[in-house]
């Protein structure tokens, strides 16, 4: 009997180990992307704690040390120093703050506007104003929304962001607000298609029959239960886009994005590129790697979540 129990325990342990290995094998890139995003979040927290006076960074990221200019990566400076002797690792860590909080603003604006517009667009698409004089020549809501989205999407977004910010403000939070505003049509389009697909279903007709208000039907029965998965996936992609926009604008300079002496991976790359072909590659390579790996990690995480949700839907 003991021999049978030991065989059962061995079988359970081996099957559990196989299931873990199988899960890791199928989701390796997703887990890798998630792990790197977690690392950047820890770096962000270390930067926040440093600003509150805690010694969480190896060096002061703003301290100029002319005796340590272009120190090569080693034990004392893991990523080396830049042309002013500032520690690159400390600046990379503090540079995560350039996009994290402003990026969350962009995501919130895009999600709230996109979900709201998409829900109204899909549910009230054939609605017209209840004013006879206006009703005769004004198109229905669906045509109006389609036209508005086509106008926004007809402009190259990066050029549109630069143009709007050059006219109004180059503040990073205003820039991220514009990013969220120009990204909302993508989410609106997805939510609209979901609402159009679901609003004729039996459970929606049942909710209407028992007197549930349109707002409750849209946001509780459609958005919350059937759209939150695609919204999460789009949010993940948008976070990678936010990193690209912030670092690109900071790289360009000219008053856009985060400017020296504040740290951003974009302006670190811009200041280090001048010395790349002189043999001092590390001031530009490490920020560039962080930009590429962070954007790639968000894309991998979004793809992994999307595949997992599709698999769940097929099983369910």
Looking at 67-123, list the stretches that DSSP marks H as alpha helix, in order from N- to C-terminal side: 88-94, 97-123
Question: Are the C-beta atoms of 93 and 264 separated by less than 8 Å?
Answer: no
Q: Is position 23 within any domain?
A: no
Ramachandran category for residue 297: left, alpha or beta (phi over 0 → left; psi -120 to 50 → alpha): alpha
The answer to whether 180 and 235 are in contact (CB under 8 A) is no
CATH number of the domain at 261, please: 1.10.3720.10
Per-residue pLDDT of the chain (316 residues; tens, 9 = 90+): 445 445 445 544 544 444 666 667 778 888 999 999 999 999 999 999 999 989 999 999 999 999 999 999 999 999 999 999 999 999 999 999 988 988 999 999 999 998 888 888 777 765 544 444 444 444 566 677 777 777 777 778 888 888 887 888 778 888 899 899 888 888 888 888 888 887 777 777 787 778 778 777 777 778 877 787 888 888 999 999 999 999 998 898 777 778 888 889 999 999 898 898 888 999 999 999 999 999 999 999 988 888 877 777 666 5
16 belongs to a structural domain: no
Q: Residue 87: inside a domain, yes or no?
A: no
The answer to whether the beta carbons of residues 253 and 259 sit under 8 Å apart is yes
Domain of 190, in residue numbers: 95-315
Which two structure tokens, joined as six digits, stand for 67?
Answer: 């005796």
What element of type H or E holds 135?
helix 132-135
In a domain, 4, yes or no: no
47 within domain boundaries = no
Q: Quote the CA–CA distance of 81 and 73 in Å, as a whole number.
A: 8
Confidence (pTM): 0.83
User: How many whole angstroms separate alpha carbon 48 and alpha carbon 92?
Assistant: 13
Cβ–Cβ under 8 Å, residues 275 and 83? yes
Count of domains forming the chain: 1
- The answer to the question of residue 220 being in a domain is yes
Contacts of 4-11 with CB under 8 Å at 24 or more apart are: none
Assess if residue 310 is contained within a domain: yes
Coil vs helix vs strand at 87: strand
> Pick from 239, 240, 223: which is nearest to 231 by CA?
223
Under the phi-then-psi rule, with left for phi > 0, alpha for psi from -120 to 50, and beta for the rest, what region is 197? alpha
Is residue 140 assigned to a domain? yes
Do residues 198 and 175 make contact, with C-beta atoms less than 8 angstroms apart? Answer: no
């Amino acid at each position: 009997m003991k021999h049978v129990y030991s065989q059962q325990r061995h079988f359970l342990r081996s099957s559990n180990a196989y299931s873990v290995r199988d899960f890791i094998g199928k989701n390796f890139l997703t887990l890798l992307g998630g792990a790197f995003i977690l690392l950047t979040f820890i770096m962000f927290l270390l930067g926040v704690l440093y600003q509150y006076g805690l010694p969480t960074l190896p060096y002061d990221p703003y301290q100029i040390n002319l005796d340590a200019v272009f120190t090569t990566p080693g034990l004392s400076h893991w990523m080396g120093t830049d042309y002013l002797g500032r520690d690159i690792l400390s600046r990379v860590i503090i540079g995560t703050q350039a996009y994290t909080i402003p990026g969350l603003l962009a995501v919130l604006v895009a999600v709230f506007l996109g979900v709201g517009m998409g829900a109204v667009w899909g549910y009230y698409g054939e609605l017209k104003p209840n004013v006879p004089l206006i009703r005769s020549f004004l198109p229905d809501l669906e045509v109006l929304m389609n036209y508005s989205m086509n106008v926004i999407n007809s402009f190259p977004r990066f050029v549109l962001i630069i143009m709007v910010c050059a006219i109004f403000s180059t503040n990073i939070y205003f820039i991220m607000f514009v990013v969220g505003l120009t990204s909302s049509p993508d989410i609106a389009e997805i939510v609209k298609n979901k609402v159009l697909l679901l609003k004729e279903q039996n459970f929606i007709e049942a909710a209407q029959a028992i007197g549930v208000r349109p707002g409750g039907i849209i946001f509780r029965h459609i958005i919350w239960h059937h759209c939150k998965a695609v919204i999460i996936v789009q949010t993940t992609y948008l976070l990678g886009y936010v990193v690209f926009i912030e670092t690109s604008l900071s790289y360009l300079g000219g008053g856009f994005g985060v400017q020296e002496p504040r740290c951003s991976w974009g302006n670190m790359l811009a200041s280090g590129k001048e010395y790349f072909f002189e043999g001092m590659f590390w001031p530009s390579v490490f920020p560039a790697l962080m930009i590429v790996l962070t954007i790639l990690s968000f894309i991998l995480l979004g793809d992994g979540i999307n595949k997992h949700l599709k698999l769940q839907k097929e099983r369910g």
